[in-house]
Amino acid sequence: MASQSESTLILSIRNRLKAISYSGSGQRPDGGQNYGFRPLKGKPEECALIAEVQDDIALKNALVSLNHSDSIFFTHCMRKIL
């Protein structure tokens, strides 16, 4: 179990089609919110604007690292499950 100074972050990769870019569709059937696609690659300052990272510094740091201009990765979908 992670202490208050630690965080557990689980990343998943799914082999499925996801159209990019997509606009937000508002409220999801499960009560979550779909804010739409925001390109973050090479834009670390914009990672803090993602709603799901507002209260989670570890998640924000993961977005910054994954979308760094030197990284081979980029993110296209964020879903925070509590």
The domain ranges of the chain are 40-82
Predicted TM-score of the model (pTM): 0.63
Cβ count within 10 A of residue 49: 13
Q: Which helix (H) or strand (E) holds 47?
A: helix 44-47
According to the model, what pLDDT value does residue 45 have? 92
Q: With 90 as the cut, is the pLDDT of residue 76 above it?
A: no
Q: Note the pLDDT tens digit of each residue in 15-57.
A: 665 556 566 777 778 777 777 778 889 998 998 888 888 888 8
Burial status of residue 78 (CB atoms within 10 A of its CB: 0-12, 13-18, 19 or more): middle
